[in-house]
């Protein structure tokens, strides 16, 4: 069976480049799974956890939205930030969660609710993944 | 004529200055290397991104998204200007600021309002003196920044553009051409110019499945495209800044050498003159005794 190459890139660095058996990613219209020989596919990603299986193990990576491109047995994830579950800074995420919650409960007219909610989702997802991975 | 002591202390001063400029040169070159690796690391992301965008842009037209639509009546222009926070880098910042102010002046002459979004202390300082609107100023961040900075600027201008507060947006930054050359570059960010996004695509185009459909995907992609361009501008500016500082400090070090040489010559001449004068005195005295 053809193998599948997974590459996760952020503006600051290449997070991951590795051969995998399966990739499950959080698309904006629902989670999707990719295996080798998938047809070309382009999707926007939501904030969430991406997981992949390699050497019989499942690993998780946090993705803060972005895009996934699949072609020629290669999955390229473009994300603004991405961290492997074991690299997540839980203290910082917890901090961010508290900040976002405070902003949402304060109901200040100046706060951008959409942005605060997105920040909250990011923080909570990070924490969940860190606990799982 | 300057006394021996004056000249000596001046030589000491110039030598100390040289030590500083030499150290700054080395620091700048180390930082430049850092900045260049960051550009390198950003390249795969940017390339993939442009690839996706060109692919999509070919499948749609300019009515597909508000960020693509050019406005007939342009009332207000936004200018994002990126400079360094610190000086001592030759004419680097001045060049960028001049380019920006020139653009602002032409826009103003066309009867448009101008608002500046400044990244970098030097830009802020220069613009705040001119009386143009200054809705955003980020200083003290050029030394260490990541994508979040571009994100912040990007979100702000996109917000203003979509709420019709701004009708067009330009980005002015110092493009890193080579170690010896950094040119101020103006780039139109908004509305996104179709000519730029539809470049010649080489190779066979594949038929993709899109999720969501093309326009929905474009709506996700375009705001990020703005941020990617801003980030690229910021990275370039930071690399240019260090390159410019390296050149400036190299020049300064060389001038210090020249000055030390000239001053040493002066010192020797002065000393020689003093010795001659003393000798003349002695000879004159001896002759008077003999006389």
This complex has an ipTM of 0.75
Rounded to the nearest angstrom, the minimum Cα separation between A82 and chain B is 12
- Give the nearest chain B residue to A81 (CA atoms): B147
Helices (H), chain A: 90-106, 113-132
Strand partners, B174: B184
Q: Which residues 234-263 of B have a C-beta within 8 angstroms of A?
A: none
Rounded to the nearest angstrom, the minimum Cα separation between A1 and chain B is 22
C-alpha to C-alpha distance for A74 and A76, rounded to whole angstroms? 6
Rounded to the nearest angstrom, the minimum Cα separation between A46 and chain B is 10
A28 contacts B212 by C-beta, under 8 angstroms? yes
A63 contacts A43 by C-beta, under 8 angstroms? no
Q: Which residues of A touch B56 (CB under 8 A)?
A: 42
Vertex B137, ends B135 and B143: CA angle to 5°?
A: 160
Residue B49 touches chain A, beta carbons under 8 Å = yes
Residue A13 touches chain B, beta carbons under 8 Å = yes
Split at pLDDT 50, 70, 90, the class of B205 is low
Mean pLDDT along residues B211-230: 85
**CA distances for B87 relative to B20, B123, B126, B235, angstroms:** 15, 11, 12, 18
Helix (H, G, I), strand (E, B) or coil at B212: coil
> For chain A, which residues score pLDDT lower than 50?
none
Half-sphere exposure of B72 (CA within 13 A, CB side): 0
Q: Which residues of B touch A42 (CB under 8 A)?
A: 52, 55-56, 208-211, 217
Tokens for B20, please give them: 């500083």
Interface test with B, best of A8, A11, A13 (most B CBs within 10 A): A11
Interface test with B, best of A42, A71, A115 (most B CBs within 10 A): A42
Output the average pLDDT for chain B: 87
Per-residue pLDDT, B119: 93
- Among A13, A27, A78, the residue with its CB nearest the CB of B41 is A13
Residue A22 touches chain B, beta carbons under 8 Å = no
Split at pLDDT 50, 70, 90, the class of B1 is low
B89-103, B202-216, B268-282, range with the lowest pLDDT: B202-216
Domains of chain B (ranges, CATH numbers): 59-246 (3.40.1380.10)
Split at pLDDT 50, 70, 90, the class of B201 is very low
Backbone angles phi, psi at A43, to 5 degrees: -140, 150
What are the tens digits of pLDDT across the range B99-118?
999 999 999 999 899 999 99
Q: Which residues of A touch B45 (CB under 8 A)?
A: 9-11, 78
Split at pLDDT 50, 70, 90, the class of B199 is very low
Split at pLDDT 50, 70, 90, the class of B202 is very low
B42 contacts B235 by C-beta, under 8 angstroms? yes
Rounded to the nearest angstrom, the minimum Cα separation between A92 and chain B is 15
Query: Does the A89-132 domain belong in CATH 1.20.5.440?
Result: yes
Mean pLDDT along residues B90-101: 93
pLDDT of residue B234 exceeding 90, the answer is yes
CB contact under 8 A, B147 and A14: no
Pairing relation of β-strands A74-79 and A57-71?
Answer: antiparallel
CB contact under 8 A, A42 and B48: no
Q: Which residues of A touch B220 (CB under 8 A)?
A: 28, 44, 65, 67
Ranges for all domains in chain A classified under CATH 2.60.15.10: 4-85
Rounded to the nearest angstrom, the minimum Cα separation between B48 and chain A is 8
Per-residue pLDDT, B190: 84
Per-residue pLDDT, B272: 93
Residue B52 touches chain A, beta carbons under 8 Å = yes
- Residue that the structure tokens 């491109």 belong to: A69
CB contact under 8 A, B209 and A78: no
pLDDT of residue B206 exceeding 80, the answer is no
Residue B216 touches chain A, beta carbons under 8 Å = yes
Classified by CATH at the fold level, domain A4-85 comes out as ATP Synthase; domain 1 (2.60.15)
C-alpha B127, offset from chain centre? 15
Ranges for all domains in chain A classified under CATH 1.20.5.440: 89-132
Mean pLDDT along residues B43-53: 83
Mean pLDDT along residues B161-188: 90
């Amino acid at each position: 069976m053809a193998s599948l190459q997974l590459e996760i890139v952020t503006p600051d660095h290449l997070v991951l480049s590795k051969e995998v058996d399966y990739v499950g990613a959080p698309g904006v219209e629902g989670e999707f799974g990719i295996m080798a020989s998938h047809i070309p596919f382009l999707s926007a990603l939501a904030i969430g956890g991406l997981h992949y299986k390699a050497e019989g193990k499942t690993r998780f990576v946090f993705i803060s939205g972005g895009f996934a491109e699949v072609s020629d047995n290669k999955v390229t994830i473009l994300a603004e930030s991405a961290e492997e579950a074991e690299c997540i800074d839980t203290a910082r995420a917890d901090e961010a969660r508290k900040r976002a919650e405070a902003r949402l409960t304060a109901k200040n007219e100046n706060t951008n609710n959409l942005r605060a909610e997105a920040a909250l989702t990011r923080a909570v997802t990070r924490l969940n993944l860190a606990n799982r991975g | 004529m300057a006394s021996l002591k004056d000249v000596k202390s001046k030589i000491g001063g110039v030598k100390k200055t040289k030590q500083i400029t030499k150290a700054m040169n080395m620091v700048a070159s180390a930082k430049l290397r850092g900045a260049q690796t960051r550009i390198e690391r950003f390249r795969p992301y940017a390339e993939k991104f442009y690839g996706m965008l060109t692919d999509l842009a070919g499948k749609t037209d300019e009515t597909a998204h508000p960020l693509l639509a050019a406005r007939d009546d342009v009332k207000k222009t936004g200018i994002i200007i990126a400079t360094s926070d610190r000086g001592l880098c030759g004419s680097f910042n001045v060049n960028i600021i001049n380019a920006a102010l020139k653009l602002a002046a032409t826009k103003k002459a066309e009867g448009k309002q101008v608002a500046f979004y400044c990244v970098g202390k030097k830009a802020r300082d220069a613009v705040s003196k001119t009386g143009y609107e200054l809705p955003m100023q980020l200083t003290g961040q050029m030394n260490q920044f990541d994508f979040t900075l571009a994100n912040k600027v990007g979100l702000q201008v996109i917000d203003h553009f979509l709420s019709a507060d701004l009708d067009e947006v330009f980005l002015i930054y110092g493009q890193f051409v080579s170690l010896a050359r950094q040119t101020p570059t103006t780039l139109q960010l908004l509305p996104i110019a179709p000519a730029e996004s539809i470049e010649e695509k080489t190779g066979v185009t594949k038929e993709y499945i899109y999720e969501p459909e093309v326009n929905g995907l474009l709506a996700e992609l375009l705001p990020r495209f703005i941020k990617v361009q801003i980030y690229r501008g910021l990275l370039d500016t930071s690399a240019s800044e260090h390159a410019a500082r390296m050149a400036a400090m190299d020049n300064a070090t060389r001038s210090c050498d020249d000055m030390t040489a000239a001053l040493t010559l002066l010192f020797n001449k002065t000393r020689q003159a003093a010795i001659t004068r003393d000798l003349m005195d002695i000879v004159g005295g001896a002759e008077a005794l003999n006389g």
